[in-house]
Amino acid sequence: MKLFIRWSLLSIAVAVFLSGCGYRNPYVYSGPDKSIYVTTWKNRTSDLQLDAKIYQELLKWFQKSRSLKITKSKEGADFILAGEIISVDIPSLAFDGTNTASDVRLTLKVRYIFKDLTTESVLIEMPSQDWQQSYTITADAAETRDNANEAQDKVIEDLAQSIYQRTLLAISRL
């Protein structure tokens, strides 16, 4: 019981210290309300759902900030975030003793732009960016498919998080 009380008091002390020292969550925008028009990305790949997955992951990240609103209309928006999926590449990385691939690296190539619609200034322009994640090929096709889906989900999550963080930084500099 004494250990629980000590742990509780320590937790409270840390919380008070962090709130009093100016700590802020870097994943949350707390400035004036802004709206971002997020377009559905152009998809130049054969993966028909890839653009929708990226859009949904971006929405998930932007919902972390109460002062940022995502809009489906360009009219009235403060910013625009547009992008394009250039390619998805899955080359072989390693071969087992039977000369079949056992590990592959999924590479997603994208480009995107984040623009202030009021001033027409480009805040972020990424003309080409590669996102990679390795996964294992097994004898079980369902397991390999699950591994590939997990790798793709991880790449999309990392991409969306990076875009979100970069846009927060760009907005805070205004």
Please state, as a whole number, how many other Cβ atoms lie within 10 Å of the Cβ of residue 77: 19
The predicted pLDDT at position 158 comes to 98
Burial (CB < 10 A; 0-12, 13-18, 19+), residue 129, is middle
- Report the C-alpha gap between 168 and 66 in whole angstroms: 13
Per-residue pLDDT, 23 = 46
CA atoms of 23 and 166, how far apart (whole Å): 19
pLDDT score recorded for residue 8: 58
Residue 127 confidence (pLDDT): 97
| Bridge-based pairing state of the strands 101-116 and 122-136 | antiparallel
Residue 104, helix vs strand vs coil? strand
Cα torsion 29, 31, 35, 37: sign = negative
Q: Kindly report the CA angle at 51 between 46 and 52, in degrees rounded to 5? A: 120
pLDDT digit string (tens) for the chain, length 174 residues: 555 566 655 566 565 555 555 545 555 777 789 999 999 999 999 998 999 999 999 999 999 888 899 998 999 999 999 999 999 998 766 666 676 668 899 999 999 999 999 999 999 999 999 999 999 988 888 998 999 999 999 999 999 999 999 999 999 888
Q: How far is residue 135's CA from residue 112's CA, in Å, rounded to a whole number?
A: 26
The rounded distance, in Å, linking the Cα atoms of 167 and 115 is 10
* pLDDT attached to residue 130: 97
Task: Report residue 152 as tokens.
Answer: 């793709």
pTM of model > 0.85: no
CA distance 28 to 172: 11
